Structure 1
Amino acid sequence: MAELSNANSLAASQHWVLSRAQALGCGLSPAQIASLVRSRRWRRLRPGVYLARGDPAPSLAARVVAVQLAYGPRSVAVGPTAARLWRIQGLLPGPGYDHLHLSVAGRGSSRGGDGLRLHGWTVPPGEITMRGGIRLTTPARTLRDTVLCTDRHSAVSAIDSALYQGLVAPADLPALAEANAGRPGAPRSRPWWALADPRAQSTFESRLRLICVDAGIAPETLQYPVRDSTGAPVGYVDLAWPGRGVAAEADGTGPHTLPDALFGDRRRQNGIAVAPERLVLLRFAWRDLGRPAEIAAMIRAALRQGAAPAPRTAP
């Protein structure tokens, strides 16, 4: 049926979502739409908005498109939702993680029982862009909004991630913090901007670094290059106190658990162990983050006991 084919083609261009008005515009009748829903070939996501496939769990993009079709062109994805659409890391799954954060011009803030958070923020046109057919805030505005509605560790991790990906630059951060002045949550979040570091390569690294900062043992540097006796690079360590002969690695639960990665990590660790600097290498797993005092105590002990590093060999 040509009408259904047209409707599905349109839905495919919109993350497999389309509105009732769009379906009717493609030539489908109300009875045909009802039949598609009854047969579960289409799924109702919002009143008058459908997922044109039988997926049990629509993607984040599909859910956002559904809300934007329901609320019209004045709706824009903001805050944590925009951050996830930009693939900014740092926001951990948990209560509220899947809530959709949108701002709709002319509407106040509200919380829907369906996981929809509408914010009454004013978002000027210059801070709105398109990505994958979705209206969302620019990376800079996304960070400004996100830090206001999340915790310190998540906020700093998100800023780190945006910096590492080049979505914003370090020089932009003071102005972003200043632009938030006067907004609810701005006073508590203002110091967080200065804690960000573009060298952090993962949320784990960011959170581990903050534990060290809070314990008064901030790392001297990140992504520190370790070299062998010839000056050839052995590898990089995530956090380092090279002046005191100590380094720390954040071993995530993803790539680091794969066989090839485990083999590579072992070779790198062995190379670091015999390098001229004689670094004491500590390795932490994600579950260790739940025991920040133990992490701090272990690093402090290493800093006290670490041997004085040997002079570096010039590369």
Structure 2
Amino acid sequence: MGEPTEPFRAKDAIAAKRITDHRVRTRCRRLMPGIHLRRDVEYTAARQARALALWLRGRAVLAGFSAAVLWGTKWIDADRPAACNCPRRLPAPEGVDVYRDVLTECDVTVRHGIALTTPVRTAFDLGRRLELDDAVAVLDAMYQTKRVSKQQLADYARRHPGSAHIRRLREAIELSDEGGESPQETRTRLAIIRDGLPRPDTQKYVLRSDGAAIGRVDMLWPRWRVIVEYEGDGHRAGSQFDRDCARWNTLQDHGWQVIRVKNGTLDPDERGATMRLIRDALWRSGAPVDQWPSPTHPWVPPATDPGEAT
């Protein structure tokens, strides 16, 4: 048996001769009191959560980001605080959030030997505690695990009307979307909504006139044949970019206007131009929107053609 590749309790691993005390001191990083990880192993949010579970020794259940990542939620970085729920006083290590909510048996389960809050309870806790946009992004990501739905979360919230920050959670649920596949797609959708534009459909297949699929797109308004695509860095690489270009050309050939958005075009200095492109495309297609001005950006000369927001 070789050295541990996951977080380990140093005392136990040394006693089992899986690693030496010298290796622990010189080749490992301390994650929690008595809990270490080899420095050559990537430190992730999932390993952070498992380290917390080792340190807890059953004294509390994982919650918040720690539970979310173990349910398979993407886009959670290791710099997010680990979290557990323990109604009694628990002197947790620095960087660990301790929730003191009273949980029922239905709120807790066991996954891979670790006690943690259920997916719906995890979403409920994060949606109340995070700032609104962050909460919406996390809820979108949790829906992608297919372990909790927007309806399940809304029903759970209705059964807990007196909980702290419940109004924030309700707003986050309303803004969340089961089609949001990345934080940047969420950010784009929120910018569209806040600019007073109709809420787009998400992650839908667009078909040719003969019924064959052209492809699935991030956001769209089928009635007005306008599409918004968020381009991550992976869409700029080699064959993927070629496939995307071919798809965009096919969509435009079939009467769709395609607005392509990337990270920088959502920054404050450029967001107005991006929203103008989208608003102008919808306006030209007969959507019930005013061309100028938008609720969030001043008047400027309108864009003449849809295209990539740069």
Deviations 1:182-231 (A, max 9, x none): 23322222122122222333322222122111222123422343333433
For residue 259 of structure 2, what is the aligned residue in structure 1?
Answer: 282
Asked if the contact 1:209–1:218 (Cα under 8 Å) also holds between the matched residues in 2, the reply is no
For residue 86 of structure 1, what is the aligned residue in structure 2?
Answer: 71
Distance 1:186 1:267 in 2: 46
Q: Structure 1 residue 18 and structure 2 residue 41: aligned?
A: no
User: Residues 19, 124 of structure 1: CA spacing in aligned structure 2 closer, same or farther, 3 A cutoff?
Assistant: farther
Distance 2:51 2:215 in 1: 46
Cα drift, residue 249 of structure 1:
0.9
Q: Structure 1 residue 46 and structure 2 residue 32: aligned?
A: yes
For residue 115 of structure 1, what is the aligned residue in structure 2?
Answer: 95
**Gap regions ≥5 residues in structure 2:** 288-310
SS in 2 for 1:225: strand
Cα drift, residue 288 of structure 1:
1.9
* Root mean square deviation, CA, Å: 3.0
SS in 2 for 1:243: coil
Distance 1:224 1:99 in 2: 34
Moved more, 125-134 or 238-247: 125-134
Deviations 1:284-303 (A, max 9, x none): 00222223433322211111
Residue identity opposite 1:107 in structure 2: R
1:57-96 equivalence runs, <5 A:
58-89=43-74
Q: Structure 1 residue 103 and structure 2 residue 80: aligned?
A: no
Asked if the contact 2:123–2:153 (Cα under 8 Å) also holds between the matched residues in 1, the reply is no
Cα drift, residue 132 of structure 1:
4.0
User: Residues 222, 71 of structure 1: CA spacing in aligned structure 2 closer, same or farther, 3 A cutoff?
Assistant: closer
Cα drift, residue 19 of structure 1:
4.7
Residue identity opposite 2:250 in structure 1: G
Distance 1:164 1:246 in 2: 24
Cα drift, residue 90 of structure 1:
5.7
User: Residues 106, 190 of structure 1: CA spacing in aligned structure 2 closer, same or farther, 3 A cutoff?
Assistant: same
Asked if the contact 2:206–2:216 (Cα under 8 Å) also holds between the matched residues in 1, the reply is yes
Distance 1:171 1:188 in 2: 17
User: Residues 43, 203 of structure 1: CA spacing in aligned structure 2 closer, same or farther, 3 A cutoff?
Assistant: closer
Asked if the contact 1:49–1:70 (Cα under 8 Å) also holds between the matched residues in 2, the reply is yes
Cα drift, residue 87 of structure 1:
3.0
SS in 1 for 2:206: strand
Q: Structure 1 residue 156 and structure 2 residue 136: aligned?
A: yes
User: Residues 132, 294 of structure 1: CA spacing in aligned structure 2 closer, same or farther, 3 A cutoff?
Assistant: farther
User: Residues 47, 159 of structure 1: CA spacing in aligned structure 2 closer, same or farther, 3 A cutoff?
Assistant: closer
For residue 313 of structure 1, what is the aligned residue in structure 2?
Answer: none
Distance 2:225 2:52 in 1: 53
Residue identity opposite 1:146 in structure 2: L
Q: Kindly name which structure, 1 or 2, has the bigger radius of gyration based on alpha carbons.
A: 1
Q: Structure 1 residue 168 and structure 2 residue 155: aligned?
A: no
**Gap regions ≥5 residues in structure 1:** 309-315
Residue identity opposite 1:197 in structure 2: D
For residue 267 of structure 1, what is the aligned residue in structure 2?
Answer: 246
Cα drift, residue 262 of structure 1:
0.4
Q: Structure 1 residue 146 and structure 2 residue 126: aligned?
A: yes
TM-score when scaled to structure 1?
Answer: 0.77
SS in 2 for 1:74: coil
User: Residues 124, 107 of structure 1: CA spacing in aligned structure 2 closer, same or farther, 3 A cutoff?
Assistant: farther
Distance 1:56 1:226 in 2: 42
Cα drift, residue 152 of structure 1:
1.9
SS in 2 for 1:64: helix
Moved more, 217-226 or 206-215: 217-226
Moved more, 122-131 or 237-246: 122-131
Work out the number of aligned pairs and report it.
285
SS in 2 for 1:121: coil
For residue 24 of structure 2, what is the aligned residue in structure 1?
Answer: 37
Distance 2:83 2:99 in 1: 7
